[in-house]
Amino acid sequence: MAFSIAHSRRMIPSMAPSDGNQRVGRWTFLTNHARVLLEIARNPNVRLRDVADTAGITERATQAIVADLEAAGYVTRTRVGRRNHYTIDPDSRFRHPAEADHSIGGLLSLFTHREHSKPS
């Protein structure tokens, strides 16, 4: 498997087709919405500029995705001084009917290596 360095300095698999098949490098398992959500989960005080850089998308696209996530109830934004603090509701369900019986907490735990549950 080929690797390349992403903007965040993490090694990620190269998106370049390896066998001449043009469709090989055109998709990933996680959407940009998932990538943005995971970056916020990793650092709730992250700047959207840094999320955009890590996700490999524009800052404007990141802002639109965060607005989508807020409108759907996945993320709450709180202003703290000049910065934003983000809170994720890990009990929120996936939107697609095929996954709607699962909460996003499992995805967050898988990719952030920590438990995401509401305090009792």
pLDDT tens digits, one per residue of 43-99: 999 999 999 999 999 999 999 999 999 999 999 999 999 999 999 999 999 999 999
* In the chain, where the domains are located: 31-112
Residue 10 corresponds to which tokens in the numbers above?
A: 């993490």
SS3 (DSSP) at 8: coil
Distance CA 43, CA 12 (A): 20
pTM for this model (two decimals): 0.74
Domain 31-112, CATH among 1.20.810.10, 3.40.50.1980, 1.10.10.10, 3.20.20.10 = 1.10.10.10
The Cβ-side half-sphere exposure at 64, using a 13 Å CA radius, reads 6
**Count of all residues that appear for the chain in the document:** 120
Rounded Cα distance between 62 and 80, Å, is 20
Supply the mean pLDDT for the chain.
83
